[in-house]
Amino acid sequence: MTAEATAVAVSLESVTKDYGDVRALDGVSWAFPRGGFTAVMGPSGSGKSTFLHCASGLDRPSAGAVRIGGTDIGRLSETRRTRLRRERIGFVFQAFNLIPSMDVEQNITLPLQLAGTKADPGRVAEVARRVGLADRLRHRPSELSGGQQQRVALARALVTRPEVVFADEPTGALDPRTARDVLRLLREAVDLAGQTLVLVTHDPMAAAWADSVLFLSRGRIVDEMTSPTVQGVMSRWESL
């Protein structure tokens, strides 16, 4: 692998995604630096979710290439693409996607089970402690608050120490304090564990935790802001 490939966690090259005659992404190119925290913002319908789904290998672009850790995922079979996702990528979505019949510990360790790996009890305990759920491991999702459920989803995304974590509005449904806790944990995944984070958000406060913010409009990246501030992001957002 070249030095450039190892410094880049995920790259998109001229990625286009069409849904029928709707062009959701229009020739997007970007390289996400390894160990960086990037927020993606844009108006409703600008293509943020499509961008996240293509960059994470959940969906295939109509044209262009996506590389994760140097591997062109468009060239992988469905099975190998699924395996790469399980082994190297974590997902945190607003809708949590927790399994209602499983308790917190089972939900957290699900990615390990899917990958056929045994859960290291120490690691599970550490992740549960970090997200503040060490005393809730035997509870079902329905017995938890929305913020606690989101933290289970976060623990599940971090337990395998994935190289890249993709988060889609993970704080959208949370009160400001819980949202701050979740963002702090995501920031720590980058600063302490060197993971790469891509966060889609509408919230300038959330975006200000990132190293850089990408602004999408009509399926294109129209701007990047490094070292963002809440005020700076809000001003740029208003002019989109």
Ligand X SMILES: Nc1ncnc2c1ncn2[C@@H]1O[C@H](COP(=O)(O)OP(=O)(O)OP(=O)(O)O)[C@@H](O)[C@H]1O
Binding residues for ligand X (CB under 6 A): 19, 22, 24, 42, 44-50
Closer residue to ligand X in complex, CB, 139/220: 220
Report which residue type is found at 57. Answer: G
CA 150/CA 171 separation, integer angstroms: 8
State the Cα–Cα distance between residues 192 and 155, nearest whole angstrom: 15
Minimum distance from CB of 49 to ligand X (Å)? 3
Cα–Cα distance, 27 to 181 (Å, whole number):
35
Kindly tell me which of 24 and 185 has the beta carbon lying closer to ligand X. 24
CA distance 27 to 13: 8
CB of 53 to ligand X, least distance (A): 8
Q: Which is nearer to ligand X, 41 or 165 (CB)?
A: 41
CA 51/CA 34 separation, integer angstroms? 18
The token pair that represents 34 in the structure block: 């390894």
Whose Cβ is closer to ligand X: residue 47's or residue 90's?
47
Q: How far is the CB of 228 from ligand X (least distance, A)?
A: 19
CB of 59 to ligand X, least distance (A): 9
Q: How far is the CB of 131 from ligand X (least distance, A)?
A: 25
Of 11 and 50, which has the nearer Cβ to ligand X?
50
> How would you write 12-45 as a 3-class SS string?
EEEEEEEECCEEEEEEEEEEEECCCEEEEECCCC
